[in-house]
Structure 1
Amino acid sequence: MSDLTTPTGIEDRLRQLVNDLASAQLTLARVRDVEVDAKHTYEAARRAALFSGQCPKVTRGGYTTAERDAWVDGQVAVQRRAYDLAVAKREAAQDLLRVVRDQAMVVMALANSVRTAYQVAGRG
């Protein structure tokens, strides 16, 4: 970890944060693509189940819409879980990007304070 009480330490930390930001952005882009793929897979599986010959047909005195939907949901549970996990990973990647960005903002503010202190002390 860099010494954040010196201009050199702050510069080192800012360089690391730039790398961290780039990495977090790449990760976010990658998990967004995975999320989109998972969503399309889930929706395709849901349509296939809904139009399957085995899908209960809603009729008066027969199956209800809720029963049909429950059957369809049971058929696509694995794809739904994969999609939900992809959403959670994308949200985590967004959180990481925000955290790294916030850290960069704090270090930049600290850099201003340290720069001022060094100038006042005649060392900067």
Structure 2
Amino acid sequence: MSDNESKQSPSLDVPEHLEYSQDHVWVDTSSSPAVIGITEYAASELGDLVFLDLPETGGRVEAGDEIVELESSKAVEPLVSPVSGTISYVNRDAADDPSVINNDPYGEGWILKVELDDDEPELLSAEDYGKIIH
């Protein structure tokens, strides 16, 4: 077993219906607007989130933009958008209590909802993302 494998928990959840970026951001494109959050892997790496700096709704975002600042007990990390579009909603509940992201990153811990541009974002399948983190 390599050092990388010994550090990673095999029980990390990678839901099949979502798409992923290499920056550990998930996107649910099955709804409109698309829902965006950080993966369970990212949440576990960051540790307990203590602050979330959300953008304003109605703002424009481009793929590759740093759009949210995530502050944890370990680090301050940007959330890099894997998609382009207009921010429709931000999760104020997660801003009020960032631990919801650690506890339920694929459910109540969503971060943004973005009305996507027409172009298809280049995202990874759950299987391909799983290969990155395992």
More helix by share: 1
Which structure has more relative contact order (CA 8 Å, sep 6+)? It is 1
Question: Normalising to structure 2: TM-score of the pair?
Answer: 0.18
* Structure whose alpha-carbon radius of gyration is higher: 1
Name the structure where strand makes up a greater proportion of residues: 2
User: Normalising by the residue count of structure 1, what TM-score does the alignment of the two structures yield?
Assistant: 0.19
